[in-house]
Structure 1
């Protein structure tokens, strides 16, 4: 008997729930819109998707998505679990994605559908590369234990030359930063070519490490075609770099798998484009399901947004995403992907983040929260360091600010009425 993988969905449909579930199961395995010769009982037993559970969640006003078969009929919502034999796809993540998140979204019996969770058999988890470094390896390379990595993003996102980028990195290194990343928009443009940027930045980071013993982790955005990414990785490795970055939705699972199998450095995985996969509540993915595939493919760090962020995501969703990364993919293989908090983060969100998670195993990346500090980037880094130390010690933000001029200035600048 082949091991099976499972997927949970929230389904909305105008037809009987059992009929809609059977249509989805057939479309995503052995069936089609009409019976065909060869789809025998034996074949179905071997390869068909199976309906594991349907829970009726009650009536809804109407279809959330256009194109429903009978838009004016009564609609119902249900929680649906399907499973498939792993023998259908083998351990191929691209084909598993086509199975659990393929044509089912387009069926006209589907008035809305969202993939909320994936569960994998141990055989599949063991066959996938998974994170090579994760939290433990990242901490070792960054030389940071017992607290979050304090990070930032090069801003302006685009337009700086290699030398201007390196000058900013020098300032951040002197400020005591742990982690710096390219913006996802900065790759290999004419203004700031990848190779020139890498050499200029690593010269600064290596010189700082020689002076202080601390090597700042810099995630270079090497997003590109597979051969380009491999060559860019090798350059960073040869220069003494300790991290690379790729945009997940741009390179796809095959690109991530190829990069992971080549890489000797942690892969900082950016989720830009996440909104088109998730923003409509009746379509797409919950983060737990989406991120599980990227963890299997080898992501060491994954962005989860941040509290009180500049985007549209609610705080509860952000925290649920971070917790999902701490959920083991199988009993014998604990999860190690490190959540990255970003998007409008400042010292003001630190206490809330700690209260919600009670773990220091994260990267807290603040762009404007460091670079726009009224007393400069060094004070921005100090404000975050002091805020995290206070939060983890149970000291309220207002009391901590009394003993930290940098934190006090951050509270004034980023709080209500701040500039």
Structure 2
């Protein structure tokens, strides 16, 4: 189930969260339990739990909408008694006063996505969306580069930023990596990223890799005037990430990359506060947070946390991908990255399409998204072109030129050899 992300109301003084709830109990009673569990309530009354305290600090049920879809069996394992025809689903919106936690993203997670998933009465619960007061915009930087800054540093003002991933992710040493980067630079690539598995291993130490790659990138920039953006994977502990960032910056690099679920929210917040470069945020591990439709997070809610923390680029998977995600879900994820979080602080992040991308996905992606503000990363879709990587870059760029112009790929390919060969190879 998807939701439409909304720009926050500037006068909003409460945090709001939307949920899809499944339960064998009365949904309103369960919603009241959720509200109490995540604010000032307990399972029994305790001294000091006064009406005044509840009026000031209690979470509220702002909406309860019953759904008619039949539920044959509990979506999640449960110890609750579940009889026939007792399971029901509802859309629930809870709200909390900002005074309960202040504008703190770590404590926000504990509030909107804490013990709720463990409640006995809950046989399914999914966080669909969140809306935050202006105080969060004031407290966190959000993306410092986003779409405009990324385009400026990559030297791409129109159309998508065409990129690829260094493969094999593990096994190449610094010199082999640099040699591949040189081939890609000469082929006209805009963007190159480390694979999420390539960090600081003994076969390819981070420092050696950055120095070798940046020699190639800087030499190419001096000869051509175009500096290719390389997202170096600096994922690590805080001090390591700070030192690695500084090395990339000092050598003239224009991007760093971090694995969100590995560095954690606080790691991302601290990286964004000190970073002078765009942060390419990789979502590896996302499946364990979302794959079950009645557990975890929707991307609409999840990506808001990371954008506000400072992510400039957010992975959204890709159409016809190699994973389990549907095309509709991918497009909804990309759209929400380009949806403002606050009226005076949009916090837009560049969506990153990846996972088995080739020339074939360009028309559908552009038609569905309605924007070319994106990074598209193709591995085999570039490297496996019959005429080599340079032709692969050209073919992908031509496919997007056709898509933006509304010209069918096969017609555009009549006058563009690289695209024609890519279509023949992909068919």
Question: What TM-score results when the alignment is normalised by the length of structure 1?
Answer: 0.97
CA distance in 2, matches of 1:358, 1:49: 38
Q: 1:131 to 1:2 in 2, by over 3 A?
A: closer
Asked if residue 285 in structure 1 is aligned to residue 297 in structure 2, the reply is yes
CA distance in 2, matches of 1:205, 1:245: 17
Alignment partner for residue 400 of structure 2, among 385, 388, 391?
388
Asked if residue 51 in structure 1 is aligned to residue 24 in structure 2, the reply is no
Task: Provide the alpha-carbon RMSD of the alignment.
Answer: 1.1
Residue aligning to 1:18: 28
Residue aligning to 1:199: 211
Alignment partner for residue 33 of structure 1, among 6, 31, 43?
43
Q: Shift of residue 234 of structure 1?
A: 0.2
Asked if residue 262 in structure 1 is aligned to residue 282 in structure 2, the reply is no
Which ranges of 4 or more aligned residues in structure 1 deviate by more than 3 Å? none
How do residues 123-272 of structure 1 correspond to structure 2 at under 5 angstroms? Answer: 123-272=135-284
CA distance in 2, matches of 1:137, 1:297: 17
CA distance in 2, matches of 1:33, 1:196: 57
CA distance in 1, matches of 2:108, 2:322: 33
CA distance in 1, matches of 2:208, 2:347: 35
Q: Confirm or deny: 8 A CA contact 2:27 2:90 kept in the other structure.
A: yes
Q: Confirm or deny: 8 A CA contact 1:2 1:85 kept in the other structure.
A: no
Q: Confirm or deny: 8 A CA contact 2:357 2:377 kept in the other structure.
A: yes
Aligned to 2:368, the other structure's residue is in SS state helix
Alignment partner for residue 384 of structure 2, among 372, 377, 397?
372
Residue aligning to 1:118: 130
Aligned to 2:103, the other structure's residue is in SS state coil
How do residues 300-379 of structure 1 correspond to structure 2 at under 5 angstroms? Answer: 300-379=312-391
Residue aligning to 2:74: 63
Aligned residues: 415
Q: Confirm or deny: 8 A CA contact 2:382 2:391 kept in the other structure.
A: yes
Q: Confirm or deny: 8 A CA contact 2:12 2:134 kept in the other structure.
A: no
Q: 1:205-257 deviations in whole A, cap 9, x for unaligned?
A: 00000000000000000000011000000000000000000000111110001
CA distance in 1, matches of 2:71, 2:78: 17
CA distance in 1, matches of 2:412, 2:12: 57
Residue aligning to 2:411: 399
Aligned to 1:294, the other structure's residue is in SS state helix
Q: 1:68 to 1:55 in 2, by over 3 A?
A: farther
Q: Shift of residue 68 of structure 1?
A: 4.3
Q: 1:112-162 deviations in whole A, cap 9, x for unaligned?
A: 000000111112222211000000000010110111100000011111000
Residue aligning to 2:5: none
CA distance in 1, matches of 2:225, 2:275: 25
Gaps of 5+ in 1: none
Q: Shift of residue 72 of structure 1?
A: 2.8
Asked if residue 77 in structure 1 is aligned to residue 89 in structure 2, the reply is yes
CA distance in 2, matches of 1:162, 1:387: 32
CA distance in 1, matches of 2:379, 2:412: 22
Q: Shift of residue 335 of structure 1?
A: 3.2
Q: Confirm or deny: 8 A CA contact 2:143 2:349 kept in the other structure.
A: yes
Q: Shift of residue 48 of structure 1?
A: 1.2
CA distance in 2, matches of 1:158, 1:311: 21
CA distance in 2, matches of 1:374, 1:116: 44
Q: 1:86-134 deviations in whole A, cap 9, x for unaligned?
A: 1111111011011100110000110000000011111222221100000
Aligned to 1:60, the other structure's residue is in SS state coil
CA distance in 1, matches of 2:220, 2:303: 35
Question: What TM-score results when the alignment is normalised by the length of structure 2?
Answer: 0.96
Aligned to 2:333, the other structure's residue is in SS state helix
